[in-house]
Amino acid sequence: MNNTLREKVALVTGGASGIGHATALALAAEGAYVVVADVDEAGGQAVVAEIGDLGGQAFFQYSDVSQAADVVALIEAIVGRYGRIDCAVNNAGIEGLPARTADTSEADFDRIMAINVKGVWLCMKHEIQRMITQGGGVIVNIASVAGLVGAHSLPVYAASKHAVVGLTKSAALEYARKNIRINAVCPSVVRTPMVERAVEIMPQFAEATIKGNPSRRLGEPEEVAAAVVWLCSDASSFTNGATVTVDGGFTAQ
């Protein structure tokens, strides 16, 4: 434990799996009290148990980030337990089925936007309200390199992540003088269950992705978590409204 986030209260949405799981562990390792929020109760409870086994403190709250009532209840539960929320990592997101723009279904569009855009906005809205009341805080939104450049056969996912970048930058401007920093992390393809699902549908996906990355590999969830920890800590005290790429150089091409 390095204690850079000692006794800070940190929320991770989508904390049951992949990047959220790695982030929850990394925040706990820095001494934060972690709140794991997810629609996957078993997965979320397993992460909480893992943090407990490592000597950290965490609790799970079921929350569908696309539902306002769930998000309100989530923030109330955190404040009820700890009295504050210092760091919020809005990570929950879905990829949808791979399809070109003309072949994407309206149902997929609505689902991706509801979770990736409305979900991040709802979380930010209620986190910011609390952070204003308590005098400050830090928010990290997990966008994607698909929030900076196009993504072949994931057009709505790319649109949703561009929207997350827009929400991040706008809110960063709005609340800088309220002592709230709001940044986005933009990973390229990272080895998580989300990507395992993509490989099942498109077997060539991982190989093509590796070939297209200057570092010739996928990212690891822990590499994204390290950027999130830095953005949550005082070490990044003048970083606000930024899009931090964790992409092996992908968007530098």
Query: Can 157 be counted among the known catalytic residues?
Result: yes
Structure tokens at 227: 């950027």
Please report, as a single letter, which amino acid is at residue 51: I
**CB-nearer residue toward ligand NAD: 64 or 108:** 64
Q: Which of 174, 172, 176 is nearest to 241 (CA)?
A: 172
Q: Do the Cβ atoms of 121 and 82 come closer than 8 Å?
A: no
Nearer to ligand NAD, 71 or 128 (CB): 71
Neighbours of 17 (CB within 10 A): 20
How far is the C-alpha of 8 from the C-alpha of 27, rounded, in Å? 9
Which residue type does 158 have? Answer: A
CA angle 128, 134, 139 (to 5 degrees): 35
The single residue of 33, 62, 82, 157 carrying the catalytic annotation is 157
Interface with ligand NAD by CB under 6 A: which range of 3-11, 13-21, 53-61, 174-182?
13-21
Q: How many residues bind ligand NAD (CB under 6 A)?
A: 30
Binder to ligand NAD among 11, 25, 87, 93 (CB under 6 A)?
A: 93
- Which of 194, 206, 210, 226 binds ligand NAD (CB under 6 A)? It is 194
* 97-136 positions binding ligand NAD, by CB under 6 A: 115, 119
| Cβ contact 215:249 at 8 Å | yes
- Is residue 17 part of the contact set for ligand NAD (CB under 6 A)? yes
> 9 or 123, CB closer to ligand NAD?
123
Residue type, 82: Y
- The pair phi, psi for residue 134, each rounded to 5°, is -90, -5
Per-residue binding letters, 174-193, with ligand NAD (x by CB under 6 A): -------------x-xx-xx
Residues lying near ligand NAD in the complex (CB under 6 A):
13-14, 16-20, 38-40, 43, 63-66, 91-94, 115, 119, 142, 144, 187, 189-190, 192-195
Annotated catalytic residues are: 157
